[in-house]
């Protein structure tokens, strides 16, 4: 979205033409049609990266709970999650990405309406779509797990994973143990994983 603003009119037209030929949305991330049981990283960001989720700690906690409930409602297994003031990541296993995408869409619609009412900002755009990335391998899965848990550290909110209250990091460390969490972190390093996600 932000890169688009810096493009010339000719560059924009070329991109839209390319996307039309590929039969993907012209101005949005594509949602692919996957069938069967599959693992995904799902991400949604507040419009313009505004910290709308982070309006209050109560809102953050409520959204975290409702995000997990939405996944549970469609039978998705949640491996890890992280809710930040302006976006969230959730790593899941689902039998139907379409059902899960639909349920999460309802959640985003409801929260937009509620939050705009709370802040007296009717008509404000709260969310800027969502994106799901399928896991391609065991390495991709564990690197993604590390990425999700490290997200509050990456964005400078805390120094250690387990200090962020709106994520699965503390629970993960308690379940696998500190030594195993360190081994996973070292064996599946982030390197450049997610490097451009917050800037494009």
pLDDT digits (tens, 9 = 90+) for 126-139: 998 789 999 999 99
Q: What is the pTM of this model?
A: 0.83
Q: Determine the CATH number of domain 32-187.
A: 3.30.70.1290
From CA 198, how far away is CA 87, in angstroms rounded?
Answer: 10
Is a pLDDT exceeding 70 seen at residue 11?
Answer: no
Percent residues over pLDDT 90 in the chain: 75
Torsion angles phi and psi, residue 80, rounded to 5: -160, 160
Rounded mean pLDDT, 147-168: 97
The enclosing H or E element of 88 equals strand 87-94
Cβ atoms 180, 130 nearer than 8 A: no
Range(s) of the chain covered by CATH 3.30.70.1290:
32-187
Is a pLDDT exceeding 70 seen at residue 34?
Answer: yes
* pLDDT given at position 200: 42
* pLDDT given at position 74: 97
């Amino acid at each position: 979205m932000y890169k688009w603003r810096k493009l010339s009119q000719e560059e924009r037209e070329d991109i839209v033409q390319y996307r039309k030929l590929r039969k993907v949305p012209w101005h949005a991330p594509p949602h692919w049609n996957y069938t069967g049981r599959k693992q995904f990283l799902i991400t949604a960001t507040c419009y313009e990266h505004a910290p709308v989720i982070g309006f209050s700690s109560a809102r953050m906690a409520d959204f975290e709970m409702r995000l997990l409930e939405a996944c549970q409602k469609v039978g998705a297994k949640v491996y890890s999650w992280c809710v930040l003031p302006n976006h969230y990541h959730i790593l899941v296993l689902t039998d139907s990405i379409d059902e899960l995408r639909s349920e999460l869409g309802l959640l985003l619609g409801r929260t937009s309406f509620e939050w705009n009412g709370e802040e007296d900002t009717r008509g404000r755009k709260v969310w800027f779509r969502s994106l799901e990335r399928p896991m391609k391998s065991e390495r991709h899965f564990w690197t993604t797990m590390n990425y999700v848990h490290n997200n509050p550290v990456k964005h400078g909110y805390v120094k250690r994973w387990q200090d962020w209250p709106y994520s699965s990091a503390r629970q993960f460390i308690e379940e696998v143990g500190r030594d195993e969490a360190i081994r996973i972190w070292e064996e599946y390093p982030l390197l450049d994983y997610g490097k451009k996600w917050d800037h494009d």
